[in-house]
Amino acid sequence: MKGNTVLICLLCFLAFAVGPGGAQASAPTPSFTISATNITMPSSGNGSIPITLTSVNGFAGTVVVGCMSPNPPAGVRKPYCDLPGPVASTYVLTANAKVTESIGISASAPLPPAAGRYPPGAGADASLALAGGLMLGFGLRRRRARWPALLFLALAMLIGTTGIGACGSGPETLTPGTYTYTLNASAQNYPTLSASTTVNVTVPPGIVSR
């Protein structure tokens, strides 16, 4: 009777160890997650997106993070990540730990001049041409005694037209709105192990682009 009791206990132990599927249960696969916090661009045009990498099931290793910018319609000025294209940043995760970092984001490069606007420097050239033409035309029709007065008039017009052009060509700004960026993270030694998330960046009016 005692032998039967031992045998029954042994069978119960084996059934528990092997599991209901008839094979030993495998351990959960180590992995990680990435999360980000939505931000509003500061007036300086230079901001940062907070990100958090979290180890899952004991993952430990180096994680590579990259940022993918959205593709808005033509003519829209958006911020850009400091980690575009193949450029990325690496972070070291220890088992069951978290890493909190940030990804830089800043104002984009200016777009070509808007339709109908003079290209850079054209305003000054046009002003010089106008003043020169006035000086030449008046000089041919007036007596030499009027030359000082005409010269003063031409210079005044030159200064006036240049000033108007300068006032009309203010700094370019980012297009106000909310833009969605994608953050991709992958394990450096395990390319198939990856995670991603999206983050919204709100751009208020008046942020000067560069």
Partners of residue 189 on adjacent β-strands: none
133-150 confidence digits (pLDDT tens): 444 454 544 555 554 554
Name the architecture of domain 28-111+172-203.
Sandwich (2.60)
pLDDT for 121 equals 43
pLDDT for 169 equals 61
DSSP three-state, residue 86: coil
DSSP string of 42-77?
-TTSEEEEEEEEEEETT--EEEEEEEE---PPTT--
DSSP three-state, residue 195: strand
Q: How far apart are CA 204 and CA 175, in angstroms?
A: 8
pLDDT for 173 equals 92
Angle between helices 122-141 and 147-168 (to 10 degrees): 160
pTM score over 0.75: no
Q: 116 phi and psi, to 5 degrees?
A: 90, -5
Low-confidence ranges of the chain (pLDDT < 50): 6-7, 10-11, 13-14, 16-19, 21-23, 84-86, 110-131, 133-136, 138, 140-141, 147, 150, 153, 158-159, 161-166
Q: How far apart are CA 97 and CA 63, in angstroms?
A: 13
Q: How far apart are CA 210 and CA 41, in angstroms?
A: 14
pLDDT for 115 equals 44
Beta-strand pair 190-203/39-40: parallel
